[in-house]
């Protein structure tokens, strides 16, 4: 098990390969559909004018995401009334929903890692090669366990605008378990599995009954 501290250097990223088990420690941020759409439209493609606290939030999250990690996660959080936030559940969200945005977000913010479940497509894999970065697969169905790795909630952005699951939660984690399934060398275990599955299906369909 490789232990890696966030922020992550390019050298460390290039030393990782698909299949490597990793434990992450440090500060990372959550972000799902609303966050990726907001990032893309407001600051990457610039099809939407910044509004409210957009520019202030952008400047603050740039520091967090530079050589950082973005977690596809819609957490369950206690302490909303008192603002003494604590993660109760922190399971990964299916990542393919962010495929239209992810590579551009990785390049723009110099992201080194994206965490989610289910893998991503060819566009994101190319983003991993160019940035460079990796996709970390987190364990589905272990939301309560993963929440235990969250040592502290350091802050939250766009809570009122996006809601709890879609807000940008800044968290400090310790020994967060993941597996590299898409690396900076252009290898994706997800595409390999898809190809193998297709071949097996084709073989089954051609067999006589």
Pairwise CA distance, residues 13 & 101, whole Å: 21
> Residue 209's pLDDT band (boundaries 50, 70, 90)?
low
- Residue 114 in this model has a pLDDT that exceeds 80: yes
- Count of structural domains within the chain: 1
Using CA atoms, how far apart are residues 22 and 9, in angstroms rounded to an integer?
Answer: 15
Lowest mean pLDDT among 29-33, 140-144, 148-152, 164-168: 140-144
Q: What pLDDT, on the 0 to 100 scale, is given for residue 192?
A: 55
**pLDDT in the model for residue 141:** 86
The boundaries of the domain holding residue 126 are: 2-206
Of 149 and 203, which is predicted with more confidence? 149
For this structure, is 72 an active site residue? no
Quickly state the pLDDT bin for 135 (edges 50, 70, 90): very high
The predicted-structure confidence for 7-31, as pLDDT tens digits, reads as follows 999 999 999 999 999 999 999 999 9
Cα 116 to chain centroid distance, Å, stands at: 5
Dist CA 120 CA 183 (whole Å) = 12
CB-CB neighbours of 151 under 10 Å: 15
3-state secondary structure of 107: helix
pLDDT band for 208, please (50, 70, 90 cuts).
Answer: low
Q: Burial-class residue 118 by CB neighbours within 10 Å (0-12, 13-18, 19+).
A: middle
Q: Which CATH number goes with the domain that contains 139?
A: 3.20.130.10
**41-48: average pLDDT:** 97
Neighbours of 203 (CB within 10 A): 9
CB 70 within 8 A of CB 114: yes
Per-residue pLDDT, averaged over 64-87, amounts to 97
- pTM reported for the whole predicted model: 0.91
Q: How far apart, in Å, are the Cα atoms of 143 and each of 10, 76, 77, 85? A: 29, 9, 12, 16
Give the span between the Cα atoms of 46 and 176, in whole angstroms: 34
CA proximity to 163, closest of 28, 29, 33, 27: 33
Q: Which residue has the higher pLDDT, 105 or 196?
A: 105
> Is 93 a residue whose pLDDT tops 50?
yes
CA distance 6 to 12: 11
Selecting among 36, 67, 72, 190, the annotated active-site residue is 36
pLDDT grade for 204, boundaries at 50, 70 and 90:
very low
Residue 198 has pLDDT above 50, yes or no: no
In residues, how long is the chain?
209
Q: Helix crossing, 99-109 with 54-65: angle to 10°? A: 80
How many angstroms separate the CA atoms of 191 and 128, rounded?
A: 14
Work out whether strand 21-30 and strand 69-71 pair parallel, antiparallel, or are unpaired: parallel
Beta bridge partners of 134: 113
């Amino acid at each position: 098990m490789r232990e890696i501290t966030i922020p992550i250097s390019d050298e460390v990223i290039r030393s990782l390969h698909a299949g490597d088990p990793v434990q992450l420690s440090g500060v990372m941020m959550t972000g799902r559909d609303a966050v990726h759409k907001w990032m893309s439209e407001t600051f990457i493609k610039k099809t939407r004018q910044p509004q409210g606290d957009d520019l202030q939030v952008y400047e603050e999250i740039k520091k967090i995401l530079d050589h950082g990690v973005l977690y596809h996660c819609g957490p369950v959080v206690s302490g909303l009334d008192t603002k003494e936030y604590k993660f109760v559940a922190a399971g990964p969200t299916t990542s393919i929903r962010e495929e239209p945005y992810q590579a551009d977000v990785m390049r723009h913010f110099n992201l080194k890692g994206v965490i989610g479940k289910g893998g991503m497509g060819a566009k994101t894999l190319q983003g991993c090669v160019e940035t460079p970065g990796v996709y970390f697969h987190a364990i589905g169905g272990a939301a309560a366990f993963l929440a235990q790795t969250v040592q502290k909630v350091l802050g939250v952005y766009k809570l009122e605008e996006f809601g709890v699951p879609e807000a940008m939660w800044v968290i400090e984690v310790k020994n967060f378990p993941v597996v590299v399934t898409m690396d900076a060398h252009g290898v994706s275990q997800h595409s390999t599995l898809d190809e193998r599955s297709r071949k097996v299906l084709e073989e089954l369909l051609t067999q006589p009954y």
